[in-house]
């Protein structure tokens, strides 16, 4: 599913965030120590290799809502933007902290003049954020940011499961 708003495309696709060859940057649903782990962080660190882990480690720790950027090493991208999402029920206010992840990632992408970026559904795995609520936060932030984007033309949301893809499709239709 693809929607175009003021010259910026928001695309939803099912897939693996570590295998998005058509994007300049991919976003990692990181942990505070910027180390490998389960889910997205495990997939990204494994595919990128140990040099990513060592560059990222030098920037740790980060706080919920923050984002940092590294090279992408063996991934088919140029950059990885590492975002620490809130742990649901623990890091509050969750919606504000999750929105900060998206706005900080977009800000870093613009600074590097990146034209395409792929996001996973930050915080919706191990961190327990309800998928539908998280999708509302993400898409609201994208739409709010679109008028300030100069370089970014393609924002891709990569969902691991068909179920999550369908939830995101529904939420995007509702918000637009
Ligand atoms: P968090 O700790 O921020 O919750 P997770 O990595 O546990 O991050 O999960 C975030 C979301 O990404 C979940 O919806 C999960 O199903 C999904 N996910 C897990 N692995 C991948 C992957 N390789 N590519 C894309 N999405 C993934």
CB under 6 Å to ligand 1: residues?
A: 16-18, 29, 38-41, 43, 85, 120-127, 158, 160, 164
Measured between alpha carbons, how far is 92 from 158 in angstroms, rounded to an integer?
A: 25
Cα-to-centroid distance, 31 and ligand 1 (Å): 12
ipTM, two decimals: 0.99
Q: Give the tens place of pLDDT for each residue, 77-115.
A: 999 999 999 999 999 999 999 999 999 999 999 999 999
Could you tell me the CA-to-CA distances from 13 to 17, 73, 88, 175 in Å, in that order?
10, 24, 24, 18
Of 160, 165, 167, best ligand 1 pocket probe by most atoms within 8 Å of the beta carbon: 160
Q: Give the tens place of pLDDT for each residue, 40-82.
A: 999 999 999 999 999 999 999 999 999 999 999 999 999 999 9
Cα-to-centroid distance, 133 and ligand 1 (Å): 15
pLDDT bin (cut points 50, 70, 90) of residue 27 is very high
Measured between alpha carbons, how far is 144 from 84 in angstroms, rounded to an integer?
A: 21
- For 162, the token pair is 């068909």
Q: Does residue 23 contact residue 118 with C-beta atoms inside 8 Å?
A: yes
Protein residue whose Cα sits closest to atom 3 of ligand 1? 123
Measured between alpha carbons, how far is 92 from 10 in angstroms, rounded to an integer?
A: 28
- Closest ligand 1 atom to Cα of 41: 6
Bridge partners of 74, per DSSP, are none
**Above pLDDT 70, what percent of the chain?**
100
pLDDT bin (cut points 50, 70, 90) of residue 169 is very high
Tell me what pLDDT residue 83 has: 98
Using left for φ > 0, alpha for ψ between -120 and 50, and beta otherwise, residue 127 falls in alpha
Mean pLDDT of 135-161: 97
Other C-beta atoms lying within 10 Å of the C-beta of residue 63: 11
Cα-to-centroid distance, 30 and ligand 1 (Å): 10
């Amino acid at each position: 599913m693809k929607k175009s708003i003021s010259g910026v495309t928001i695309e939803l696709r099912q897939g693996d965030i570590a295998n998005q060859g058509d994007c300049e940057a991919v976003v990692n649903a990181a942990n505070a120590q910027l180390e490998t782990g389960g889910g997205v962080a495990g997939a990204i660190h494994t595919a990128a290799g140990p040099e990513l882990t060592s560059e990222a480690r030098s920037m740790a720790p980060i706080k919920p809502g923050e984002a940092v950027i590294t090279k992408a090493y063996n991934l088919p991208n140029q950059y990885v933007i590492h975002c620490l999402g809130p742990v649901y029920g623990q890091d509050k206010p969750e919606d504000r902290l999750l929105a900060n992840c998206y706005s900080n990632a977009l800000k870093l992408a613009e600074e590097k003049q990146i034209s395409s970026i792929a996001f996973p559904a930050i915080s919706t795995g191990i961190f327990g954020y309800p998928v539908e609520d998280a999708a509302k936060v993400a898409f609201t932030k994208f739409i709010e940011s679109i008028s300030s984007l100069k370089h970014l033309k393609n924002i891709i949301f990569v969902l691991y499961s068909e179920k999550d893809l369908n939830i995101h499709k529904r939420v995007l239709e509702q918000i637009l």
